[in-house]
Amino acid sequence: MDPMLDFTGKVALITGAASGFGKLLAAELGKRGARLVLGDINMDALDKLVADLEGQGVTALARRCDVSSEADCKAMVDTAVEQFGRLDMAVNNAGIAHGFIPIHELTGELLDQQMNVNVKGVMFGMKHQIPAMKASGGGAIVNTSSMAGIGGGPKIGAYAASKHAVIGLTRTAAVESGRKNIRVNAICPYYTRTPMLEGGEGLASGGEAEQTLAMMAAGSPMKRIGEPEEIVAVMLMLLSPANTYMNGQAVAVDGGVSAF
C-alpha cells in the first residue's frame, strides 16, 4: 500500500462519526488498516456504522460522546488507550450550525450553543488526546473548522465565531505540541453535501433549499458546492503517517473561494 494511505495498526478517534465527514472518514481509515474509536450522540446511527464496519473486517468501537462534556471526551480517549494501548490520530469533527440570521438578531443563547459544541468539543478533545499521543510517541490531530473560520460568515455569525476559535485552538496546540511529535491542523471546507447542510434542519433545507444551494454554488469559482469525499480525501492527507512536517495549518478545501 502507498505509505501516504497506509494506516495499518494506527488507532484513530473520531467525534461526530455517525454521519457526514466523520462517517465517511471512519470507513476510509478502517479499510486502510486503522483501529477506530467512534463517538457521536446519535447512538442508533453510530451502532449501525460500527456493525457495518465490523462486517467489512474493520476493528471499531462505538462510544456515546457529547463533545460539550469534558467527561465524555476524556472517556473516548480512555477507551482508545484501554482497548488498544495507544492513540495515534484524533479528528475533532463533531459540530453544529445554525440557520441564517444577521448579527443584530443573534442571541446569547445561540452563541452559547455554538461555542459549547464547536469550541469546547475541540478544546476538551485535545486536552485529553495530546497527553495520550505523547505517551504513544506522537500523533496527528485534525480539527474541523470551516471557510467561515477563515473569513466572514454572512448570516451565520455565531457559527463563524466558533469556527474562528477552532483555528485559534488548532494553531496554539500546534505550537505547544510540535516538540512532542504531535501535529495539529484544521480543515476548512466550503459548503458541502452533508446532513448539516441538507438535513432536516440544515442550512439548505425547507422550501427554498434549491435556491439556497444555487446561491452557495455560485459563490465558488468551480460553481458547485463540495462533495464529502473531496473533504475526506484532504483529511486523510492531513492524518497520513507520511505527512510528517505539516503543522498548525488551516487548510481551505473550498473550490477556490479563498482565492478571491
Cell reading at 208: 427554498
Residues 6+ apart with CB under 8 A from 26: 14, 17, 36, 38, 49, 53, 60
Terminal Cα-to-Cα distance of the chain (whole angstroms): 38
Rg, Å, the chain Cα set = 17
108-160, pLDDT tens digit by residue? 999 999 999 999 999 999 999 999 999 999 999 999 999 999 999 999 999 99
How confident is residue 199, by pLDDT bands cut at 50, 70 and 90? low
Cell reading at 248: 498548525
- Position 235 pLDDT exceeds 70: yes
The pLDDT mean for the chain works out to 94
Catalytic residue list: 159
pLDDT over 90 percentage in the chain: 87
How confident is residue 75, by pLDDT bands cut at 50, 70 and 90? very high
Identify which of 22, 17, 28, 7 has the alpha carbon closest to the alpha carbon of residue 84. 7
pLDDT at position 83: 98
Show the domains of the chain with their CATH numbers.
3-189+226-250 (3.40.50.720)
How confident is residue 56, by pLDDT bands cut at 50, 70 and 90? very high
Q: Please tell me the distance from the alpha carbon of residue 245 to that of residue 181, in angstroms, as a whole number.
A: 9
**Which CA distances in Å does 182 have to 3, 131, 141, 154, 201?**
19, 10, 8, 34, 36
- Position 2 pLDDT exceeds 80: no
Q: Picking from 12-21, 142-151, 202-211, which range would have the lowest pLDDT averaged per residue?
A: 202-211
